Amino acid sequence: MSITPQAASARNREICQMAPIIPVLVVHDVAHARPLAEALVRGGLPVLEVTLRTPVALDVIREMAKVEGGVVGAGTLVTPDDVTAAVAAGAQFGVSPGATDLLLDTCEDIGLPLLAGAASASEAMRLLERGYDMLKFFPAEASGGVPTLKAVGAPLPQISFCPTGGVSPSNAASYLSLPNVVCAGGSWVAPSDLVNSGQWGKIEALARAASQLGL
């Protein structure tokens, strides 16, 4: 079932409004998938982005998709094959570092709402021209961070963003205070040392603190 850019943006806006932070997850062991997702959801972060950066990422998505209350998406979508594999694994939305016509065509044809990446006004305008008004701003800090998003928001107030890349507990509130930011992506809520040692209670506490950002 296909999806229009407008419908994809509307769905991703709904997803982004569920919590101020979307955990960006790089998971190396499938055994960690369920308890990690459960800890993050309990902590108030139901939207989970599993990046396709490890050999087990698709299996991780399959496991996390079984967790009640979670909304699991696939990150680092770059090729059409990435998209079809992510949907087959149960991803409910996709995230890409940038955007190509081929990637957008594939997501629209297969019905996957894509949070496409943009790092400049021109890239954002091209996506808006196609019908996308809910975008990922990446890499956020390297692309100018809060000042850039604030500046872009003046001439392009109809576009909303989820900044990702360099977002941390120290600057997340500044991003979330901008009128054109709906949520932000961050990896600090699931640090590898806590994941590898199975310290789910500590991850839940990090998630709970992140869920209160911007309030």
pLDDT at residue 9, rounded to an integer: 98
Cite the active site residues.
49, 136
User: For 168-177, what is each residue's pLDDT tens digit?
Assistant: 999 999 999 9
**Average pLDDT of the chain, as a whole number:** 98
pLDDT value at 215 more than 80: no
pLDDT at 214: 86
pLDDT tens column, 79-112: 999 999 999 999 999 999 999 999 999 999 999 9
Q: Give per-residue pLDDT as tens, 45-60.
A: 999 999 999 999 999 9
Domain 5-209 has CATH 3.20.20.70: yes
Could you tell me the pTM of the whole model? Answer: 0.97
pLDDT at 184: 98
- Determine the Cα–Cα distance for residues 126 and 169; give it in Å rounded to an integer: 31
Q: How far apart are CA 18 and CA 16, in angstroms?
A: 5
